[in-house]
Amino acid sequence: MKRGRDPVERAASDDEDLQEIATWEPRTRLDRFAVGFYERIFPAIRGLVLATAVLFTLAILFASSIGTPRLPVVALFAALSAVPALALAAYVYVADVTTKEPLDLIAATFALAFVFASFAAIVNTAAEPLFAALGGLGVVGYFLLIVAPGEELVKLLAVRFYAYRDGRFDSVVDGAVYGAVAGLGFATIENAIYVTGFVQQATTGIVVDQAIDIAQRRALAGPGHVIYSGIAGYYLGLAKFVDEHRGAVVLKGLVIAAGFHALYNLTIGFAPGIVGGLLGVGPIVAFVVYVVAFDGVAGGFLVLKLYNYRDAYNRVDAGRTYDPDAPVDATEIDPSTNDDPIAPGAKRAQSAQEADESTATWGTDDAETDAGWESTVEDDDSGW
């Protein structure tokens, strides 16, 4: 969003000093302190948020590992349960028709989603008993108002926190790629917590069998996280390159992603039973059929977005003019910090200087044109 100008500033001459009347630039020690504090407070807050997320994650992982029998084996199956989500995230990565995203941003987004998942875990755990006291309606409200939007928000935060601010995030479809990676990071730690928790609470059976059982079910849940956050990430990427209503675009993506997410959570408890009755198959097969069908619908929405982008990219021959090294235009959310800051007063003086230079150049051009015209006339007269 471009800076507006006060009527006094618009009407004043270029040499008018309007400090703290209609313009402002740091001149005093207090001014410079305010500038320095403002420029440092947000990085400090970001660092505090990240450090808190890391501490929460370590605490959750430590609590999950205590009392887990044959922890290395259980951890292996927890990791294997994320393989389908990894495959889906890889598909979204390959589907990027522009340049392939750098691995350092991919790794950072995965790690951020991995640790930011702790925020959602804490909120979900604290809110669950409050909503459970309301009965069936409370369960609906819990998934619709807490779990789905909260988890999609922290996954989107993982993208917004780092990759979004990088200049290499230079196309709309990049948002879908980083969103999918954030979903993979979230699914990885969520599966680990579910698998270890299930094994700890089981009272019968062999540990390996228990781990295999829960890992198989969690393997089908992971791709959903990739799909939902891929959708939200796509709209985040779109918001970076539109001129207006960026917040509304991001909100739309979150609503769609959280809507799919909540619908899955609300139906997974009973819908497979209906599918099993209709198809005459066992509960495991019915569960797989329903999850695959649901992910097919939600994933189809994301794939359609990627297809439409690829089609437009090829139709306008964007690859011919696309320069991945070109700087991304500044956005309302992240104003560019690459240019040297110019104080308002200096801008006014600079504008006046440019105007004078333009006038001088115009006068020179006129003189040269007149001289050339006179020379041409003389030549024509002599020739005539």
pLDDT per position as a tens digit, 285-324: 999 999 999 999 999 999 999 999 999 999 998 887 666 6
37 lies in a domain?
A: yes
Give the rounded percent of residues in the chain with a pLDDT score beyond 70.
76
Looking at the structure of the chain, the number of domains it has is 1
376 lies in a domain?
A: no
375 lies in a domain?
A: no
343 lies in a domain?
A: no
pLDDT of residue 77: 73
214 lies in a domain?
A: yes
**Could you tell me the pLDDT band of residue 364, with boundaries at 50, 70 and 90?**
very low
pLDDT of residue 144: 96
Residue with the larger pLDDT of the pair 350 and 17 = 17
pLDDT of residue 204: 54
14 lies in a domain?
A: no
150 lies in a domain?
A: yes
Residues of the domain holding 278: 32-317
10 lies in a domain?
A: no
Kindly state the tokens that stand for 219: 């393997």
Q: Which long-range contacts (CB under 8 A, 24 or more apart) does 240-245 make?
A: 240/164, 240/169, 240/172, 240/175, 240/328, 240/331, 240/333, 241/171, 241/172, 241/329, 241/331
Residue 346 has pLDDT above 60, yes or no: no
Residue 134 has pLDDT above 70, yes or no: yes
pLDDT digits (tens, 9 = 90+) for 204-231: 555 556 666 667 777 888 899 999 999 9
Residue 173 has pLDDT above 50, yes or no: yes
Question: Going by C-beta distance under 8 Å and a sequence separation of 6 or more, which residues neighbour residue 106?
Answer: 93, 177, 178, 181
pLDDT mean over 58-72: 77
pLDDT digits (tens, 9 = 90+) for 195-208: 777 776 665 555 55
Picking from 120, 143, 149, 176, the residue whose alpha carbon sits closest to that of residue 264 is 143
Mean predicted lDDT score pLDDT of the chain: 82
Contact assessment for residue 140 and residue 267, using Cβ atoms and an 8 Å cutoff: no
Residue 335 has pLDDT above 70, yes or no: no
